[in-house]
Structure 1
């Protein structure tokens, strides 16, 4: 069998990274998460997703894994593995409440949260260096509106059955 021929020229229609908002969101998010993971792990023994879970539990003691998954926008399987890791490190614990597993910080988890928090807040502040207060408020408003559009984004009308071409063969 002959291998497929490579396409050696750019396609006619492509995404222009300079004007494609999701590209910048990904760049900023990846730099934030991976940079945070490096810093937090080196100094506190946790990663950015770990801290996101600790932060959620600091605000919502007794919540469930599904709540954390929704709150931090991580897949349930990732949250489950992270929860087990945090439990093994004795940073969280859980209690069975009927069929529900309620999650809590331990005193060690609260200490790690409290140690990471100022660094996380400083990093967030540094990310917005050079922004005026008005620009910060406007950015927050835009991000919140984008967040509210997630359900629409994840179910685009162009993929609705009525919008898809039918195979009449």
Structure 2
């Protein structure tokens, strides 16, 4: 006999709703894009939770700070392209980081706005770095140095193929109009 919950659920389902799993489906335990997304989501959630708890900043803020540590003077568009995030997300994060005194915007040639970390921003980078590096340690813990080299080479090749496919399908690079 169905439980009360099952009866209520069935009663709420429209007559034309598909209520049984389809037969031609992905194998969720072996569908690599799903597994990569789950891993990425878990790592980002862990990192973001810890960054917010300790510094009041999230993963996107960290990515901007980290990008400027690597590429001082980059514009918001260049940071967007470098980390593959929407320019609106970058702009929102930059406003917060400028307000917190972690990033400086300067007037550049032809209306550009180069960005730089402040000394406080550099200190914040150094304080946040170990949290991000912990994600790397989790991923690489059971891999040999050769495995790590192969994994990184494969991931770079997959990213390049994804960008090429995006250009073929959309006529622009990934992130260009996101």
Smaller-chain TM-score bracket: 0.7 to 0.9
TM-score (ref. length: structure 2)? 0.81
Matching of residues 31-110 of structure 1 within 5 Å:
31-98=42-109, 99-110=111-122
Residue 126 (1) aligns with residue 138 (2): yes
Q: CA separation in 2, counterparts of 1:70 and 1:34?
A: 22
Q: CA separation in 1, counterparts of 2:60 and 2:45?
A: 10
**Cα deviations across residues 73-123 of structure 1 (Å, max 9, x unaligned)?**
111111111111111111111001131011111111111001111232233
Worse-superposed segment, 9-18 or 52-61: 9-18
TM-score (ref. length: structure 1)? 0.85
Matching of residues 132-143 of structure 1 within 5 Å:
132-143=144-155
Which structure shows the higher helix fraction? 2
1:13 to 6, 24, 30: 24
In structure 2, relative to structure 1, the CA distance for the partners of 1:152 and 1:12 (3 Å cut) is: farther
Indicate the residue corresponding to 1:163 in structure 2: none
Cα shift at 1:156:
6.6
**Cα deviations across residues 122-164 of structure 1 (Å, max 9, x unaligned)?**
331122111111211111111011111112443577x9xxxxx
Q: CA separation in 1, counterparts of 2:118 and 2:146?
A: 39
Aligned residues: 157
Q: Which runs of 5+ in 2 are unaligned?
A: 1-13, 171-178
Q: CA separation in 2, counterparts of 1:67 and 1:96?
A: 15
Residue 115 (1) aligns with residue 127 (2): yes
Indicate the residue corresponding to 1:27 in structure 2: 38
